[in-house]
Structure 1
Amino acid sequence: MNKAEILERLQEIDKLDYNAELRDEIRSLSDVFREYMEQEFHEAKLSKLEGDDKNQKTPEEIQKSIELNKEFKALAEKFKEKDKVWKEKKDEIINEILEKKKELLKRLEFINQTDKAISIKDKYDLFNSIREEWNKLGSLKKEAYRDLKNQFNAEVQKFYHEIEIDKEFRDMHFKKNKEQREEIIEKVRQLDSEAEIWKTDAFLKMYRKEWEDSGMVRKEDFENLKNEFWESYRKIADKIEDFFRKKDEEQEVIVKQKELLIERIRELNKIKSTLIKEWNEQSDKVSEVIKEWRKTGFVSRKKNKEIWDTFNNELDVFFNGKRTFFNELREKRKEIKDRKVAIIDRIAELAKEPGDWNQSTDEVKKLQQDWKQSGRLRSNEEDKLWAKLREVSDSFFEKKKQHFESMQEVKSEIKEEKRQLLTEFEKVEMPDDKEEALDLLSQWQDKWLKAGSANFISEKKLSQQFNDIVRKHQSKLDIHDDEKDMFSFRQKLKRFLKSENGKDLIEREKRFVKNKLREAEDELVKLEDSMALFTFSGKNNSSPLLVEAEKKLENAKKRRDLFKEKSIVLKTTKIVEEEESVKESEENEEKDKES
């Protein structure tokens, strides 16, 4: 029987009065239906794990199966309620049946004790009605019922003995019982052609009960009938027994096969795969095990639950491990992709706004190195991102190339301009007035700075030539070394202020001058202490040591004064910058008001 046929039979039973016999049939049918449900569930899960679309049901089949399962569950709930009520009334029902059977026994006793004036026909009719009602009430399993049944059978024998004098009625009754028993024997024989063994088993039990409840026949007929019945009965019973024995043997073989398959999964679970290739190979092996598992077939519900749970748990271990590995792999790939996209975006930014080309180039090269060390993605995804990286990198280096090609032209122009300045500067005649001469030198220094700088190799040589010309002109002037030093210092500050990092250079120069001033003051204190010793000793003023000490003291004072002056110039430079900043801010505010 398939699920639809089982459900149809259960629906028929639902219309009948619930009793012990129906209860057994309901249990048997329900067990078979649930086995179908479990098989479908296991098949669906294995097909999903295996990725086998061929073994999966169509949407229509799935919907039909769901509807059948739903109807079965509804019926199962109804039977559960009926069984609950039946159990509660079971003792009451049994006692009621016992009382009815006792009443039937009394009626049979009455017939046997009744005067012979009652016709044989009437006795037969009463006897048959009592037997039919007795059989209709069914059998009971209580101990008290055995005695009652024995008493009833004794009265039946007595009845037959009492009416033996009426041969015609007796023969008619025996003939009827014989036909009934022959019919039962034929029904037992026909079970040999029944395909479904569970039906055969159920019907055989039912026919045996019918045989036991059948009436008496002639002794000479009964022996033949009895032999025929039990010969046919044992043949079918042996067939049933042989079926279940073979089924048990087959089940044992299937169980052992399934246990070996479970062990294979266990062994695969012991392998800790760390590569995609390894997991794919393991998955192929698991799929093969699943295919073999399905081929082995199913076992009984009792055995199947235990072995399926074990197999299912091992599969969960494997696929949970696989799922965890690929989830972590996806997270890792996402991190790699995010890093690569960030590298591409950063290089694209540098291509748009490179800033210092040397620093930007170093950063791009480092980013390209980071790309190599960041790991790989899937081929198609890796190729797409690599193409983008090449695109932005090519864009950066192409712009760099264009920049330096244009810079080369600028360098040539600056170089040529500075050469012309050198030629003109060397021919300049310095005024006799020292202040005018220094101012002129300062103007030429401004011209030189204004010409710009391109950091070309020969610039150092040109700057050296310019400084040589400056010193040449200074040598013609009546100025001290300190004045020359301060002149160079002021020109250096001008260069700092024109530089991109001028503020940093100024601050560094302040720290340098501050340290040198402190050193000069410390040295001056030491020299003054030394001079105090000469005065205390009362040595001659013309002493060579004293003269040398005074000379050192004088030079130390000059160095201190020089660094003091530089410190003042630095402070003044800062004040000028702040004043210009304030002035510029005020001018901007005025413009805003006007606008």
Structure 2
Amino acid sequence: MLDEKNDNLQDADGEKNQETTVESTSQPQETQQDQPANEPENAADLPEQKTEDDDAHTEIDQSNAEDAEDEGNKDRHEIPLLDYHAMSMEKLVEELDKLVNKQRVQAIKTHVDQIKSEFDLKYQDLYEQKKDDFIENGGNEIDFYYVSPAKKEFNEIYGTYREKRNQYYKSLEERLNNNLENRQQIIEELKGLINVEENINDTYKHFKNLQDRWRNAGPIPRVQYNDVWRTYHHHVERFYDFLDLNRELRDLDFKKNLEEKLKIIEQAEALAEIPDANKAFRELQILHKIWKEDLGPVDREHRENIWERFSAATKTIHHKRQEYFKNQDEIHEVNLAAKQEIIKKIKAITERPPHNHGGWQKLIKEIEALREEFFNAGRVPYKDNERTWSEFKGAVRRFNRSKNEYYKSLKKSQHVNLEKKMELVKIAEQNKDSEDFDQTTPLMKRIQADWKKIGHVPRKYSDKIWNEFKSACNHYFNRLHEAKNEYIKDELQAFEKKQNFMDSLKGYQLSGDKEKDLEQIKSFIADWKSIGRVPKNKKNIEGKFNKVLDGLFKKLNLGKQKSELIKYGNKVDQLANSDNENLIQNERIFIRRKIDEVKSEIRQLENNLQFINADDNNPIVMDVRKNIQKHHEDLDLWKAKLKEIKNISLD
């Protein structure tokens, strides 16, 4: 018993030592019994290993301290973080609505913060673009106001989130403080167990009851989490030292705790093998929490060994997670390079502005594709995010300003085009009911051609004036076609009559009285002329009639010039009856041109004759002279026709 008392005194000294440093992070003395303060994540508890182990345990310790305050932490881990940067404003609103209305408010802070950051950046870009457009269109900056439907909806949902969050944290603060008081009361009761004079078994049962109450006491403020936890376990250690008088009870607890901690170690070692580093880390946090909050100490023989095994598994998982984030950093750098390249392309496009609407529309599509590519390129390093976004916005804004300048100048020219087209509409309206088809048809065709050359007008007027112009033109040409159809109907009847007339001429026989027969032929010509015009595609009947006349004139032995003038008299009468000075003038010009051509041919033949070194009996000379004679006859005929035309003018 003396040795056992000495051991207790030595342990009591250790307890005093520990009690004076309960808020510190120094390594407990070996004389103390096993305590969780040796084993948790706080790296300061293991000064001889303040390297990578320090980082691994500290990170888990901080995460568990935060989670201890948040009863919804399990839900928070299960909500995936999406690539909000690649989403449109409308999609961000949709995601925010899902989170606020379907998830616990305490579990979505990170998600909501990222969504709000991305939405604000995109909305600010849209707002500035709308503002630039407003000013470019002549608006005053003071008068500018714009709120998109997406912004209104976002503000409403975000307001709901803030209201829910404030209500939650208000009730959470009260609940956490009540839980803190409860845990502090448990610690006070735990302190008193050592000095209670009662049966050790009853004291042990009281101790177990306090442990159960501690496990169910609920979360407390994170800033006090570690200190309260250390204080509690410090007094648990003291109780186990006190329990040294009843080693059987203590050893049973040690054995049970060892079995549970070995299970946790095996689970931690298994986690080190799964490929998802983040999932492994989250589950490791839970194991640390159980180790720290639910299990007590083990015997001194196994204490160091099991902690080293648990720390080794923790270190492996932590290392894999650090590698994962290292790879993420590399991916973000690649994304940064891709986004910088996109910004360069946008700047290059801005430096080569087109000079027409089609070219600008093509570039607008290219810029939209690059914008989409930028948003889908993924995240960049946090330190470069704001700068990259600013450069991107600036590049797009410069393009938009260049585009707006073009369309602003285009609007001016479109208003000029509008005035020109309105003038053409006026002309079309004034002439759509004209009966002078010969004069009006060329005019209407000309204004249609002019319309095509003018170019675009402002869109809000385009359909209206085009419909007015088209309606007036269609009205005129429909009338023209109706008139032509009626005219063609008369011409077809004339053609049928002329066919019948031709058939009647086939049986005609000359009487032998030249003068009488000539008068009859002239009568045939007059009757033919009185029938009227035939369709253009039936004009060959006129040639057939002339051949019949040529045959009759030949039988009468009438000269070529006289017969041609008789036939030409038919045309002269048509011109005289047309009352169209232009037609007569055109015929006069045509005859004079033919006279000049024949004279030129005669001169050329006579000139060629001078270079022929042969007598008059030479066949070539005879052929040329014959040709010259024929041209003189043609010249006389054309002069006679010209005289007939002049007689019309004189009349």
More helix by share: 1
**Structure with the larger RCO, 1 or 2 (CA within 8 Å, 6+ apart):** 2
TM-score by length of 2: 0.45
TM-score by length of 1: 0.48
